[in-house]
Amino acid sequence: MSVETEHLEAMLSRLKLTLLRDQLDTLLDEAARRELNLREALVFLCEAEIARKDQRRIAMGTSIAKFPFVRTLDGFDYDAQPSLDAKQLRELATSRWVGNGDTLLLQGPPGVGKTHLAVALGRAAIERGHSVLFTQATHLVAALAKANAEGTLEQRLRHFTKPKLLIIDELGYLPFTANAAHLFFQLVSRRYERGSVLITSNRSVGEWGQVFTDAVVATAILDRLLHHSHVITIRGDSFRLREKRRSGLLKADRVNHQTTA
């Protein structure tokens, strides 16, 4: 390696331009092949470096978020869910609501795409530079209750307060004990007007009194969550059953019976 190349690599390392450092020859050849002038070449190199940094940041953010599966908004079939407003979802996909610290509630029966949308919107938020954490409601309260019993509640609360967007999946499938509801209230209060919360639930907001056992705690939680909020109600058939019906595994009347049960 020439002294000049070594010097250049050392400078690129110091500037943390790792893609330029690692692929310098290929990139310079490409710039030459395209006959770029100096300014154009600089643009080309900066874009390449930024693309790689974005890619890494998104990969890192996605792994920290602990999504249960990979889903995107592009992979969502809007025609299958006519109760959804595509324009509203496009607006949510900009993640402005996350920047504002708003709450988003996705409610509807099982299989209509709530978790899919939660993961896809979470990923969109990461792309916009926000930190995200995905958790199931039962896991969340179990973790808080355990920490409370062990005297480490403060750390746990901080863990769930830190991400700019906290996604709480499947709230309401199981009712909370009074203790769990109180711990959940503490978390919601901490996040209030600081970070965003996305909640998916098979229960409508009106039924949350039952979820949190205590109507007073439920009101206090809702008061904070709904202050700056967007509520999306998804109706219609389970996507899973729909796919099965389409492939002939289920007869239509049987599906209707199952989804209304």
Residues that bind Mg ion (CB under 5 A): 114-115
Structural tokens at position 182:
């109180």
**Binding string to ligand ADP for residues 148 to 187, with x set by CB under 6 A, is what?**
----------------------------------------
Is residue 116 involved in binding ligand ADP (CB under 6 A)? yes
Q: Does 123 bind ligand ADP (CB under 6 A)?
A: no
Residue 71, binding choice from Mg ion, ligand ADP, none, Cβ under 5 to 8 Å by partner class:
ligand ADP
Between 101 and 110, CB nearer to ligand ADP: 110
112 binds, among Mg ion, ligand ADP, none (CB under 5 to 8 A by kind): ligand ADP
Residue type, 35: E
Scanning 75-83, 145-153, 188-196, 206-214 for contacts with ligand ADP by CB under 6 A, the matching segment is 75-83
Binding status of residue 122 toward ligand ADP by CB under 6 A: no
Task: State the minimum distance, in angstroms, from the CB of residue 157 to ligand ADP.
Answer: 26
Residue 106 beta carbon to ligand ADP: minimum distance, rounded to whole angstroms: 8
Question: What is the 3-state secondary structure of the chain?
Answer: CCHHHHHHHHHHHHCCCHHHHHCHHHHHHHHHHCCCCHHHHHHHHHHHHHHHHHHHHHHHHHHHHCCCCCCCCCCCCHHHCCCCCHHHHHHHHCCHHHHCCCEEEEECCCCCCHHHHHHHHHHHHHHCCCCEEEEEHHHHHHHHHHHHHHCCHHHHHHHHHCCCEEEEEEECCCCCCHHHHHHHHHHHHHHCCCCEEEEEECCCHHHHHHHCCCHHHHHHHHHHHCCCEEEEECCCCCHHHHHHHHCCCCCHHHHHHHHHC
236 binds ligand ADP (CB under 6 A): no
Site map for ligand ADP, 77-96, x if CB under 6 A?
Answer: x--xx---------------
Closest residue to Mg ion: CB criterion = 115
Nearest distance, CB of residue 108 and ligand ADP, angstroms: 6
Q: Which does 93 bind (CB under 5 to 8 A by kind): ligand ADP, Mg ion, none?
A: none
Contact indicator for 199, 171 with CB cutoff of 8 Å: yes
Is residue 135 near ligand ADP by the rule CB under 6 A?
A: no
Q: How big is the chain, counted in residues?
A: 261
Assess 240 for contact with ligand ADP (CB under 6 A).
Answer: yes
Q: Determine the Cα angle at 173 with ends 169 and 178, to 5°.
A: 100
Distance separating alpha carbons of residues 136 and 129, to the nearest angstrom: 23
Print the binding letters for residues 35-74 with ligand ADP: x by CB under 6 A, - otherwise.
------------------------------------x---
Give me the residues that bind ligand ADP (CB under 6 A), please: 71, 76-77, 80-81, 110-116, 200, 239-240
